[in-house]
C-alpha cells in the first residue's frame, strides 16, 4: 500500500513535547529520530514566510510601476496627478474631467478606432494634469504603454538622427513615437512652425493615424490657431472617429491641487 507523508505521520507514534513559547504539544515521529515540531511555531514561521513573500512581491510591483512611469516620460511634477485629484468646480471643468475619465476607462475601445483628443486653453488650467492622469490610469488599469513628450522634444529627437554618427535612424526615432498605445504631445504650437517641423509632425501623426494609435495633443493656443498650425489635413484626421477638442477656457488654478490615488 502506498502512503504519502501525511498518511505516514498520522500512523506514526507520538509523544508529548514542550515548547518554551507555546507549552505542550503532541509530536509525531516522521522517520528515525526526526519528530514534528511545535505546530504553533510552524504556523508562525509559515505565516512569516508568506508575509515576506508578499512584501517582496509588492516591492517588485512598485519597482515595475515606477519604471513604467519613468519610461512614459510623464514629467516628475505630474507623476502623482490623478484624475481624482483634479479640481472641478465649474461645468466646463467638470466636463473636462468627465471626458478624461471616460477616455481613460474606455481606452480599449478607444484603441479600436485610434480616437484622438485635443486639449486647448490657457496655461495653468489643468491640461497637463488631466493628460497625465489619463496616462497613469491607462498604464495602471489597462497595462498599456504611454509616451508623454513635447512637440519640440519630439522634433529635436528626430532631427538629431540627421547628424553623422547618430546611433539611431530617422525611422527608428519616428517608430519610438508611433509604437506607444497613447502618445501625449504637449506644447503644440510653441514651435516656430517651419515647413520642416510641419513635415516631421505630419509624419508622426499620420503614421499613428494609419495604425489607429490615439494621440492626445495639448496646446495653449485657441482652436483656430491650432487648426492653422497643424494644417487642415492633420486637424481633420484628429477629429475622425469621434475625436474631440476639449476647451479649458477658465483662469489658471495652479496651487489648487490635492494628491490622491489614480
pLDDT one-digit tens code per residue, 46-97:
999 999 998 888 888 888 888 899 899 999 999 998 999 999 999 999 999 9
List the alpha helices (DSSP H) in the chain: 5-11, 39-72, 91-105, 107-113, 127-142, 151-159, 170-178, 195-210, 223-230, 232-239
**Domain membership flag for residue 17:** no
User: Is pTM, for the whole model, over 0.85?
Assistant: no
Distances (CA, A) of 79 to 82, 83, 120: 8, 11, 21
In DSSP terms, 19 is beta-bridged to 23
**Domain membership flag for residue 254:** no
pLDDT in tens, 4-39: 655 555 556 788 888 988 999 888 887 778 888 898
pLDDT in tens, 165-187: 888 999 999 999 999 999 999 99
Kind of pairing between the strands at 14-19 and 23-31: antiparallel
**Domain membership flag for residue 33:** no
Question: Under a CB-based contact definition with an 8 Å cutoff, are residues 205 and 238 in contact?
Answer: yes
**Domain membership flag for residue 83:** yes
**Domain membership flag for residue 124:** yes
* CATH number (domain holding residue 167): 3.40.50.300
Confidence of residue 262 (pLDDT cuts 50, 70, 90): low
Tally the domains of the chain. 1
**Domain membership flag for residue 22:** no
For residue 2 the three cell numbers come to: 502506498
**Domain membership flag for residue 210:** yes
Domain that holds residue 94: 66-248
**Domain membership flag for residue 215:** yes
In DSSP terms, 24 is beta-bridged to 18
3-state helix/strand/coil string of 121-174: ECCCCCHHHHHHHHHHHHHHHHCCCEEEEEHHHHHHHHHHHHCCCCCCCHHHHH
Amino acid at each position: 500500500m502506498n502512503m504519502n507523508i501525511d498518511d505516514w505521520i498520522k500512523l506514526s507514534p507520538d509523544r508529548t513535547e514542550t515548547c518554551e513559547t507555546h507549552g505542550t504539544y503532541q509530536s509525531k515521529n516522521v522517520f528515525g529520530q526526526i519528530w514534528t515540531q511545535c505546530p504553533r511555531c510552524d504556523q508562525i514561521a509559515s505565516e512569516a514566510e508568506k508575509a515576506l513573500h508578499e512584501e517582496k512581491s509588492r516591492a517588485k510591483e512598485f519597482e515595475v510601476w515606477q519604471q513604467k512611469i519613468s519610461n512614459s516620460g510623464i514629467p516628475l511634477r505630474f507623476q502623482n496627478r490623478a484624475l481624482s485629484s483634479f479640481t472641478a468646480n465649474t461645468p466646463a471643468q467638470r466636463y473636462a474631467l468627465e471626458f478624461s475619465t471616460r477616455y481613460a476607462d474606455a481606452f480599449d475601445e478607444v484603441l479600436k478606432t485610434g480616437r484622438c483628443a485635443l486639449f486647448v486653453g490657457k496655461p495653468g488650467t489643468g491640461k497637463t494634469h488631466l493628460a497625465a492622469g489619463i496616462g497613469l490610469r491607462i498604464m495602471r488599469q489597462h497595462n498599456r504603454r504611454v509616451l508623454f513628450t513635447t512637440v519640440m522634444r519630439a522634433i529635436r529627437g528626430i532631427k538629431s538622427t540627421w547628424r553623422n554618427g547618430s546611433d539611431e535612424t530617422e525611422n527608428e526615432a519616428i517608430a519610438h513615437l508611433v509604437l506607444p498605445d497613447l502618445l501625449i504631445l504637449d506644447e503644440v504650437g510653441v514651435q516656430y512652425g517651419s515647413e520642416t517641423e510641419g513635415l516631421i509632425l505630419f509624419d508622426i501623426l499620420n503614421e499613428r493615424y494609419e495604425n489607429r494609435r490615439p494621440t492626445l495633443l495639448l496646446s495653449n493656443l485657441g482652436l483656430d490657431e491650432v487648426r492653422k498650425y497643424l494644417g487642415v489635413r492633420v486637424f481633420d484626421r484628429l477629429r475622425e472617429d469621434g475625436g474631440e477638442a476639449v476647451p479649458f477656457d477658465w483662469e489658471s488654478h495652479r496651487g489648487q491641487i490635492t494628491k490622491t490615488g489614480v
